[in-house]
Amino acid sequence: MLKEDKEAQEPDLLRSQCRHYHRIKITIVFFLLAGICLFLFGRLTYFMVFQAQHYAEKAQELHERERSIKAARGRILDRNGLTLADNKTVCTVSVIYNQIQDREEVIRVLCKELDLSEEYVRKRVEKYSSMERIKSNVDKETGDRIREYDLAGVKVDEDYKRFYPYNELASKVLGFTGSDNQGILGLEVKYEEYLQGKKGQILTVTDAKGIEVEREGERRIEPIAGKDLVTSLDLNIQSYATQLATQAMLTKEARSVSIIVMNAKNGELYAMANVPEFDLNEPYEVTDAALTDFLKKKTPEAENFDLAAAREALSQEETQEILNGIWRNACINDTYEPGSTFKIITAAAGLEAGVVTPQSTFSCPGYIMVDDRRIRCHKTTGHGGQDFVHAIMNSCNPSFVTLGLRLGVERYYGYFEQFGLKQKTGVDLPGEAGTIMHKMEDMGNVELATVSFGQSFQITALQLLTTAASIVNGGNRVTPHFGIKAVDPETGEETVFDYPVESGIVSAETSETMRYLLEMVVSEGGGKNGAVEGYRIGGKTATSQTLPRGTGQYISSFLAFAPADDPEIISIAIINRPKGVYYGGQIAAPILRQLYENILPYLGIEMYNQEETTQSED
């Protein structure tokens, strides 16, 4: 009986255990599913509430097509606010493959209006891409005509192209921009961070096939214009300097002529002419003159050239080589032996060291022997006995060799460094060359002798001018520069540029003596042709041989400052390889005389005799 009851209870116990097990499983599954649902709900809430903006932007980016809008580049202005570099409104024509409805009509119109070959246009119109540019820098009138056709899939966006209203003027200073409107040369690249603006965008909504959703329209993010650059360049002074340089180059059949005009007290550059210049609006044009020079170097024995055929035969490397020469700024990129203008530095070093005074006497028999080297004077019969005033007036080589030897290598080299000749000027233009000078340990008496009158080393024209300025302005080595300030055209906010000035280059006494000596050079010495009636002018002439020597070619120059007693303006004119008469005092000095006759009154610098008359009346 008991056994039967026990057997009857066993199925009930098993069923009870099964039900309990199932309840546990159901509970676990329930809480697991509930946890998953809560997790998913939490994530969904996180995405929909906290990340809604982020994913909305992602979705918008996915469905929006971007077209960039170039920002207007900042203008470049002269010191009086006249525009030297501006922007011209142009257009960029592009096509969107998925939106074109009549490809043949699009090809026909673009070929006609843009003057492009059918093969070129068809290749781009039929290319499967989100957007294909057909042509940029299209003039606005042409762009407007294309818009009037209202062709589906053709986009005409307004753009900017750099425009230079004075074409060649100051081309090697201003520089130019590329097709992307970024600076490539000169001030354009040096001040890129100020001149460039911030690009804008045109955003259009598209469907999955890339076709614009018309009802959504376009959304624009406006570009931000670049800042205007105010420079120290003076349009009138630059124009006249360029005119004089061009006249000298043509008259003397010279290879090139350079003129720099600088404020002697603060380093502001009023003009830097490098003739021949190039057209800033067509910077990649290989001129006939540049091509001829290139061909002469390649085949010096030839006399006549077929320029058209030669132009077609130019390789890409040869074209770039010619363009690099066209763009080269001789005032800062090229070095040369300065010749007698460097006697300014030797004289200042001698006065500073106390090894010479204006009353010191020298003897010139027409040459001087240094070790085994005979160094002659330009006056082969000699200047005889003379004091230092007349030695510099006569630009006597033996006298300056004697002065250099008195200084000695170590002391002379020390002044070379003290005057800043071993460092670059710091001008705000790219590509400035450094001085090429002997190492001190390699300098013997002969090297010292030749350096003392400006030979056997090389220097840039701007370096020489800057060092001379520091010697005559009281001993302050200024930093030559063009950039004055950057101005936001919208707010008027200004960023003024500061430049270092190193004082104590020479003493005030040495500076005063040098001004007197160099004024004597112009009033009574070899620089007479640089004298300007009514003004006190100081300066130094030079005639140096080109390298390699023995070619019979010369570089003629004249460095001058005014007024001689308190210099405000300092300038240099350099004629490279003139034909015929080549002496600096005869062909370079008259250039600065004509320049000063015009710009000194323009700058408000009074004539000394007028000042004396006013003082006597008082």
Contact 377, 367 (CB under 8 A): yes
Could you tell me the pLDDT band of residue 551, with boundaries at 50, 70 and 90? confident
The residue-averaged pLDDT of 121-130 equals 87
**pLDDT exceeds cutoff 60 at 526:** yes
Structure confidence by residue, pLDDT tens digits, 251-299: 999 999 999 999 999 999 999 999 999 999 999 999 998 998 898 888 8
CB under 8 Å to 363, separation ≥6 — which residues?
A: 384, 385, 386, 398
Q: Which helix (H) or strand (E) holds 368?
A: strand 367-370
Q: What is the mean pLDDT of the chain?
A: 89
DSSP state of 569: E
At residue 570, the pLDDT reads 98
Contact 194, 123 (CB under 8 A): no
The residue-averaged pLDDT of 298-322 equals 87
The mean-pLDDT minimum among 175-189, 512-526, 569-583 falls in 175-189
At residue 614, the pLDDT reads 38
47 vs 485 pLDDT, higher one = 485
Residue 564 CB burial class (10 angstroms; 0-12, 13-18, ≥19)? buried
From 340, 360, 452, 556, active-site residue: 340
Could you tell me the pLDDT band of residue 300, with boundaries at 50, 70 and 90? confident
Give 461-525 as a DSSP string: HHHHHHHHHHHHTTS-B---B-EEEEE-TTT--EEE-----B--SS-HHHHHHHHHHHHHHHHHS
Question: Strand pairing partners for 446?
Answer: none
Find the Cα–Cα–Cα–Cα dihedral 389, 390, 395, 398, rounded to 10°. -100
At residue 608, the pLDDT reads 77
At residue 361, the pLDDT reads 96
Locus of tokens 């700024």: 329
The residue-averaged pLDDT of 452-471 equals 97
The residue-averaged pLDDT of 141-166 equals 91
Q: How far apart are CA 599 and CA 282, in angstroms?
A: 30
**pLDDT exceeds cutoff 70 at 391:** yes
Q: Which helix (H) or strand (E) holds 92?
A: strand 83-95
> Which candidate, 450, 399, 452, 395, places its Cα nearest to that of 585?
395
At residue 157, the pLDDT reads 84
The mean-pLDDT minimum among 17-26, 338-347, 531-540, 552-561 falls in 17-26
Could you tell me the pLDDT band of residue 128, with boundaries at 50, 70 and 90? confident
The residue-averaged pLDDT of 41-61 equals 68
> Which candidate, 261, 255, 256, places its Cα nearest to that of 234?
261
Share of the chain above pLDDT 70, in %: 90
Could you tell me the pLDDT band of residue 36, with boundaries at 50, 70 and 90? confident
Catalytic residue status for 340: yes
Neighbours of 610 (CB within 10 A): 10
Could you tell me the pLDDT band of residue 616, with boundaries at 50, 70 and 90? very low
Which tokens hold the place of 155?
Answer: 């986009």
Could you tell me the pLDDT band of residue 108, with boundaries at 50, 70 and 90? very high
Structure confidence by residue, pLDDT tens digits, 241-257: 999 999 999 999 999 99
Could you tell me the pLDDT band of residue 5, with boundaries at 50, 70 and 90? low
At residue 200, the pLDDT reads 79
* Helices 343-353 + 397-407 axis angle, to 10: 40
Give 106-164 as a DSSP string: HHHHHHHHHT--HHHHHHHHTS-SS-EEEEEEEEHHHHHHHHHT--TTEEEEEEEEEE-
Residues in the chain: 618
The residue-averaged pLDDT of 202-209 equals 60
The pTM of the full predicted model, rounded to 2 decimals, is: 0.86
At residue 61, the pLDDT reads 52
DSSP state of 487: E
At residue 40, the pLDDT reads 83
At residue 572, the pLDDT reads 98
At residue 49, the pLDDT reads 75
If DSSP codes are grouped into helix, strand and coil, which group holds residue 4?
helix
**pLDDT exceeds cutoff 70 at 13:** no
**pLDDT exceeds cutoff 50 at 578:** yes
CA-to-CA dists, residue 233 to 174, 440, 447, angstroms: 10, 38, 39
The mean-pLDDT minimum among 36-40, 67-71, 135-139 falls in 67-71
Contact 591, 573 (CB under 8 A): yes
* Backbone φ and ψ of 198, nearest 5°: -110, 125
Structure confidence by residue, pLDDT tens digits, 396-429: 999 999 999 999 999 999 999 999 999 999 999 9
Share of the chain above pLDDT 90, in %: 69
**pLDDT exceeds cutoff 80 at 509:** yes
Contact 337, 360 (CB under 8 A): no
Neighbours of 18 (CB within 10 A): 10
Give 310-364 as a DSSP string: HHHH--HHHHHHHHHHHH--HHHH--B--GGGGHHHHHHHHHHHTS--TT-EEEE
At residue 23, the pLDDT reads 77
Which tokens hold the place of 310?
Answer: 């030669």
Domains of the chain in sequence order: 65-73+86-166+202-231 (3.30.70.2110), 289-300+307-328 (no CATH), 339-617 (3.40.710.10)
Residue 51's Cβ-side half-sphere holds a number of Cα atoms within 13 Å equal to: 9
At residue 71, the pLDDT reads 85
The residue-averaged pLDDT of 73-82 equals 97
Could you tell me the pLDDT band of residue 519, with boundaries at 50, 70 and 90? very high
> Which candidate, 270, 269, 277, 291, places its Cα nearest to that of 249?
277
160 vs 360 pLDDT, higher one = 360
If DSSP codes are grouped into helix, strand and coil, which group holds residue 300?
coil
Give 36-69 as a DSSP string: HHHHHHHHHHIIIIISHHHHHHHHHHHHEEEEEE
At residue 549, the pLDDT reads 81
At residue 573, the pLDDT reads 98
At residue 332, the pLDDT reads 97
**pLDDT exceeds cutoff 90 at 583:** yes
At residue 209, the pLDDT reads 52
